[in-house]
């Protein structure tokens, strides 16, 4: 038995592969294009492990995917592959259209052909699990109820619009062709191997480097925070027992404004790796111009997955964020290696002109 994971060298994908092989001996075929956020160093502990087959390549390459499916005969495909950073989608939306929409279409076509050729129980048991985001639902006012699986789609960025389109394609392939799909929409993930352009790792990395901690606008944008390993356990549970064609929201029940997140990171660093001058890292906080169309609040109602599948997060935000900060402190070489020239150029481009 085997599973095919697309995007398995990225942040969430690599955590999923590592957690999967920590709990199972089932073969993982790991397909990743290795763009800026894909990093084989995330998978270094699996070097030489026969249960892990890494294939560099594009999940939108139908011929490559078809060959992998024919060769390994996986019982499931778990699709993490995506362009996923809102700021990057604002600067360059075309990559998001090509990857998240066109790439998903090509994957669906390859998987549909493979599934159509399966026999009896293999065809009955096969699943395609598509990993998506809460951002497809748009933005919430302060007192609005949290997103449920039936909330209307109102994406507000090129990123979220491209993911919404991919979700609709997955749904259409189920209803039109009968393809046995599952979709998950998660809230903001954090944890080990997070590329340091996102809020939490950026704050940790900049704080330790003595750089400003850029906070968009007033810092009161609210997100629901989900520890990545909780997300991985939820995906395993949905793959195991989710109802075909259904959508499951995955959240951490941790709604917090961005500024509170930054303050928490600073407090942990003050405790665990104090500044040499004795001052708090909070003194490095700098308020910068908000990004265009910044959604004010996301909130996930994760009661369906708990009610139907018995899943709920194991980590509180307090336990998860401490584990995350400790991981970055203990893995400074990983941070240094991912901070290539291209990454530094990107950070400079994104924050140029955003002075307080």
pLDDT in tens, 224-264: 999 999 999 999 999 999 999 999 999 999 999 999 999 99
Q: 177 in helix, strand or coil?
A: helix
Which tens digit of pLDDT belongs to each residue from 79-125? Answer: 999 987 677 878 889 999 999 999 999 999 999 999 999 999 999 99
**Contact 188/224 with Cβ under 8 angstroms?**
yes
Which tens digit of pLDDT belongs to each residue from 177-226? Answer: 999 999 999 999 999 999 888 899 999 999 999 999 999 999 999 999 99
- Rounded distance between C-alpha atoms, residue 314 and residue 271, angstroms: 24
Considering the domain boundaries, does residue 68 fall inside one? yes
Considering the domain boundaries, does residue 92 fall inside one? yes
Q: Which domain range does residue 71 map to?
A: 2-191+226-256+297-317
Considering the domain boundaries, does residue 100 fall inside one? yes
- Per DSSP, 291 falls in state P
Considering the domain boundaries, does residue 336 fall inside one? no
Q: 51 in helix, strand or coil?
A: coil
Count up the domains in the chain and report the number.
Answer: 1
Considering the domain boundaries, does residue 164 fall inside one? yes
Angle at 40 between CA 52 and CA 16, to 5 degrees: 55
| CATH code where residue 58 lies | 3.40.50.720
Considering the domain boundaries, does residue 196 fall inside one? no
Strands in 255-257's sheet, in edge-to-edge order, are: 188-190, 222-227, 255-257
Output the CA–CA distances (angstroms, integers) from residue 32 to 59, 66, 80, 187, in the order listed: 7, 15, 9, 23
Considering the domain boundaries, does residue 177 fall inside one? yes
**Contact 82/163 with Cβ under 8 angstroms?**
yes
Considering the domain boundaries, does residue 346 fall inside one? no
Quote the tokens at residue 140.
């919430």
Residue 356, pLDDT score: 52
Q: Which residues are catalytic?
A: 134-135, 159
């Amino acid at each position: 038995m085997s599973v095919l994971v697309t995007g398995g060298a990225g942040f969430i994908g690599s955590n999923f592969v590592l957690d999967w092989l920590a709990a199972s001996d089932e073969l993982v075929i790991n397909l990743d294009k290795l763009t800026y956020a894909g990093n084989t160093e995330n998978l270094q502990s699996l070097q030489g492990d026969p249960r892990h087959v890494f294939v560099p390549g594009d999940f939108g390459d139908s011929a490559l995917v078809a060959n992998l499916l024919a060769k390994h005969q996986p019982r499931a495909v778990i699709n993490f592959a995506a362009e996923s950073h809102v700021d990057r989608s604002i600067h360059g939306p075309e990559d998001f259209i090509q990857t998240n929409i066109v790439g998903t279409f090509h994957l669906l076509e390859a998987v549909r052909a493979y599934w159509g050729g399966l026999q009896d129980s293999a065809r009955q048991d096969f699943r395609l699990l598509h990993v998506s985001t809460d951002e497809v639902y748009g933005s919430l006012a302060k007192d609005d109820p949290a997103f449920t699986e039936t909330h209307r789609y109102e994406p507000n960025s090129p990123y979220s619009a491209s993911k919404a389109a991919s979700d609709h394609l997955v749904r259409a392939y189920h209803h039109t062709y009968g393809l046995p799909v599952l979709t998950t929409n998660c809230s903001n993930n954090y944890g080990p191997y997070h590329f340091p352009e996102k809020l939490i790792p950026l704050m940790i990395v900049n704080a330790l480097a003595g750089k400003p901690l850029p906070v968009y606008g007033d810092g009161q944008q609210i997100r629901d925070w989900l520890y990545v390993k909780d997300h991985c356990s939820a995906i395993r549970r949905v793959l195991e027992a989710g109802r075909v064609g259904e959508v499951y929201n995955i959240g951490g029940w941790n709604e917090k404004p961005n500024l509170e997140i930054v303050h928490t990171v600073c407090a942990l660093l003050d405790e665990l790796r104090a500044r040499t001058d004795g001052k708090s890292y909070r003194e490095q906080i700098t308020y910068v111009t908000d990004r265009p169309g910044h959604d004010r609040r996301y909130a996930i109602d994760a009661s369906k997955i708990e009610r139907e599948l018995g899943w709920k997060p194991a980590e509180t935000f307090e336990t998860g964020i401490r584990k995350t900060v400790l991981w970055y402190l203990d893995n400074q070489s990983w941070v240094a290696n991912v901070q290539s020239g291209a990454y530094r150029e990107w950070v400079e481009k994104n924050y140029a002109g955003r002075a307080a």
